[in-house]
Amino acid sequence: MSTTSNRIEIDSAEMPREGLKVVQASDVTGDRLELSADVVIIGSGAGGAVSAYELARRGLDVLVLEAGPYVPSRDFTEDFTESLETLYEDHGAQANTDGDLLVLQGRCVGGSTVVNGCVSFRTPDFIFEEWHRDYGLTDFTSESMAPYFERVERNLSIQENRPHEIARHSMVLSEGARKLGWSVKPFKRNIRECALTGHCLSGCKTERKQSMLVTYLPWAAAHGARIHSDTRVDRVLSENGRATGVEGRVVDREGRHIADIRVKAPRVIMAAGAVQTPVILQRSGLGNDQVGRNFACHPSFYVGARYPQPIHPWRGAMLGVYVDEFMHPDNGGFVLEVGGLGIAELCMINEPGTGKPFVDYMQKAAHMAGIVTLIHDHNVGEIRWQGDHKAIHYQLSDKDFPSMMASLKAAVRMHLAAGAEEVFLPSSEALSVTREADIDGQVDKLVNKPQHLRMVSYHPQGSCRMGTDPANSACDPQGRLRGVDGVYVADASLLPSSLIVNPQVTVYALANYVADRVS
What number is the average pLDDT over the span 4-23? 61
> Average of pLDDT values for 404-433?
95
* CA 413/CA 407 separation, integer angstroms: 10
Confidence bin at 226 (pLDDT 50/70/90)? very high
Pairing of strands 226-228, 62-65: parallel
**What span, in angstroms and rounded, lies between the C-alpha atoms of 496 and 280?**
19
Q: Residue 6: which pLDDT band, with cuts at 50, 70 and 90?
A: very low
The pLDDT value recorded for residue 168 is 95
Cβ neighbourhood burial of 513 (10 Å; 0-12, 13-18, 19+): buried
Characterize the bridge pairing of strands 302-306 and 432-433.
Answer: unpaired
CB 42 within 8 A of CB 246: yes
pLDDT band at 8 (very low <50, low <70, confident <90, very high): low
Report whether 485 contacts 119 (CB < 8 A): no
DSSP 258: E
What pLDDT score was predicted for residue 13? 41
Helices in 257-314 by DSSP H: which ranges?
Answer: 276-284
Contact assessment for residue 424 and residue 350, using Cβ atoms and an 8 Å cutoff: yes
CA dihedral 143, 144, 149, 154 (to 10 degrees): 80
Q: Which of 212, 296, 284, 300 is nearest to 464 (CA)?
A: 296
What per-residue confidence (pLDDT) applies to 361? Answer: 82
pLDDT interval class at 16 (50, 70, 90): low
For the residues of 150-205, what is the DSSP string, one character each?
Answer: HHHHHHTTEEEPPGGGS-HHHHHHHHHHHHTT--EEEPEEEBSS------GGG--T
| Rounded Cα gap, residues 274 and 272, in angstroms | 7
| Highest-pLDDT range among 75-84, 338-347, 442-451, 457-466 | 457-466
Confidence band for 18, pLDDT divided at 50, 70 and 90: low
**Would the pLDDT of 19 be above 90?**
no
Select the more confidently predicted residue: 6 or 489: 489
Contact 485, 287 (CB under 8 A): no
Average pLDDT over residues 41-62: 98
Each residue's pLDDT tens digit, 119-161: 999 999 999 999 999 999 999 999 999 999 999 999 999 999 9
Q: Summarize the confidence of residues 228-257 as an average pLDDT.
A: 97
**Distance in angstroms (rounded) separating the CA atoms of residues 478 and 462:** 15
Q: What is the pLDDT of residues 105-117, one digit of tens each?
A: 999 999 999 999 9
For residue 237, give the 3-state DSSP assignment: strand
Whether 11 shows a pLDDT value over 60: the answer reads no
Q: Which residues contact 169 (CB under 8 A, 6 or more apart)?
A: 311, 313, 316, 320, 338, 339, 340, 369, 370
Give the pLDDT score at 12.
Answer: 45
Q: Phi and psi of 131, rounded to 5°?
A: -65, -40
CA distances from 4 to 152, 265, 405 (A): 12, 28, 44
Number of C-beta neighbours around residue 368 at 10 A: 26
Q: Which pLDDT does position 15 carry in this prediction?
A: 55
In angstroms, the CA 327 to CA 324 distance is 5
Residues in CB range of 73: below 8 A, 6 or more apart: 203, 204, 205, 206, 207, 213, 214
Average pLDDT for the chain = 93
The length of the chain in residues reads 519
For the CA atoms of 382, 385, 388, 389, the dihedral, rounded to the nearest 10 degrees, stands at 40
Residue 344 has pLDDT above 90, yes or no: no
Strands 158-160 and 101-103: unpaired
Q: Is the pTM of this model over 0.85?
A: yes
- CA quadruple 243, 249, 252, 255: dihedral sign: negative
pLDDT exceeds cutoff 90 at 343: no
Q: Is the pLDDT of residue 2 over 70?
A: no
Cβ neighbour number for residue 412 with a 10 Å cutoff:
25
The pLDDT assigned to 5 comes to 43
Confidence band of 355 (pLDDT split at 50, 70, 90): confident
Strands 188-190, 158-160: pairing kind: antiparallel
Q: Report DSSP state, residue 380.
A: -
Chain centre to alpha carbon of residue 154? 20
pLDDT of residue 449 exceeding 80, the answer is: no
pLDDT at position 9 is: 53
